[in-house]
Structure 1
Amino acid sequence: MPSADIGTVIVTGGASGLGAAVAAAVRDAGGTPVVLDLRAGPDWCDGEVVDLADRRAAEAAVARVAERHGGIDAVVTAAGMDACGDFGVVDADAWDRVIAVNLLGTAAVVRAALPELERSRGRVVTVASTLGFRALPAATAYCASKFGVVGFTRALAAETQGRIGVTLLVPGGMDTAFFDGRDEQFKPGPDARLNRPEDVAATVVFALAQPPGCEVRELVVAPSTEPSWP
Structure 2
Amino acid sequence: MGPQMYDAGVRARGAASPGGTNRSRPCPDAVVDWPEHGGVARVPVRRGRWGMDGDRRAGRVAVVTGAARGVGAATARRLAERGLRVALIGRELGTLEKVARSLPTESCSLEVDVTDEAALRGAARSVAERMGPASVVVANAGIAAAGPFATTEAALWDRVIAVNLLGSAATARAFLPQLVRTRGYLLQVASTAAFGSAPLMSAYCASKAGVESYAQALRTELEPEGVQVGIAYLHWTGTGMIEGIEAHPVLRELRAHQPGPGSRVHSAEQVAGWLVRGVERRAAAVYAPRWLRLVQPLRPVLPLVVSHIARRSLARMPARELRRTTGVLGPGGRADWEDREAAGPVVPARPPQS
Secondary structure of 2:146's match? coil
The residue that corresponds to 1:21 in the other structure is: 74
Give the structure 2 partner of residue 36 of structure 1: 89
The aligned runs of 1:133-148 (5 Å cut-off) are 133-148=195-210
What one-letter code is carried by the residue in structure 2 that aligns with 1:207? G
State the Cα RMSD in Å.
Answer: 2.3
**Which residue pairs with 2:236 in the alignment?**
173
Distance in 2, Cα, partners of 1:3 & 1:32? 13
Map residues 154-193 of structure 1 onto 2, 5 A cutoff: 154-162=216-224, 163-182=226-245, 183-185=247-249, 186-187=251-252, 188-189=255-256, 192-193=263-264
One-letter identity of the residue aligned with 1:184: H
Q: SS state of the match for residue 25, structure 1? A: helix
Do residues 66 (structure 1) and 128 (structure 2) align?
yes
User: CA 1:145–1:198 in 2, change beyond 3 Å: closer, same or farther?
Assistant: same
SS at match of 2:134: coil
**Identity score, percent:** 33
Once the two structures are TM-superposed, the CA of residue 3 in structure 1 deviates from its matched residue by 5.0
Contact 1:122 1:165 in 2 (8 A): yes
Aligned residues: 224
> Are positions 1:100 and 2:167 aligned together?
no
Question: Which entry has the higher C-alpha Rg, 1 or 2?
Answer: 2
Q: How far apart, in 1, do the equivalents of 2:290 and 2:284 lie? A: 20
2:280 corresponding residue in structure 1: 209
What amino acid sits opposite 1:38 in the alignment? R
| Shift in Å, 1:199 | 1.7
User: By how many angstroms is 1:16 displaced?
Assistant: 0.5
Residues 170-189 of structure 1: CA distance to partner in whole angstroms, max 9, x if unpaired? 01001111133454223454
Q: Which residue type is aligned with residue 100 of structure 2?
A: D
The aligned residue for residue 108 of structure 2 is: 46
Deviations along 1:99-120, one digit per CA (max 9) or x if unpaired, are: 1111111110111100110110
Once the two structures are superposed, residues 55-103 of structure 1 have per-residue CA deviations (whole angstroms, 9 ceiling, x without a partner) of: 3322322222122112111100111111111111111111111111111
Equivalent residue number for residue 121 of structure 1 = 183
Contact 1:6 1:209 in 2 (8 A): no
Instruction: Classify 1:49/1:166 alpha carbon distance in 2 versus 1 (closer, same or farther; 3 Å).
Output: same
In structure 1, what is the equivalent of residue 348 of structure 2? none
C-alpha distance in 1 between matches for 2:129 and 2:152: 40
Instruction: Give CA-to-partner distance per residue, 1:10-50, whole Å, 9 cap, x none.
Output: 10011101001100000111111111000121132311001
Deviates more, 1:138-147 or 1:172-181: 172-181
Question: Which one has more relative contact order, counting CA pairs under 8 Å at least 6 apart?
Answer: 1
Query: What residue in structure 1 maps to residue 267 of structure 2?
Result: 196
Residue by residue, what CA displacement relative to the aligned partner does 1:101-158 show, whole Å, maximum 9, x if unpaired? 1111111011110011011011000100000121111111001110011001100111
Which residue identity is paired with 2:228? G
TM-score, normalization: structure 1?
0.89
Contact 1:34–1:46 (CA under 8 A) maintained in structure 2? yes
Aligned equivalents of 1:96 and 1:197: distance in 2? 26
Q: Which blocks of at least 5 consecutive residues in structure 1 are unaligned? A: none
TM-aligned CA distance change 1:198 to 1:190, over 3 Å: farther
How does the TM-score come out when normalised to structure 2? 0.59
After superposition, the C-alpha distances for 1:190-209 in whole angstroms (9 at most, x for unaligned) are 99421112122122222222
Give 1:79's aligned residue: 141
1:102–1:217 distance in 2 versus 1, CA, 3 Å: same
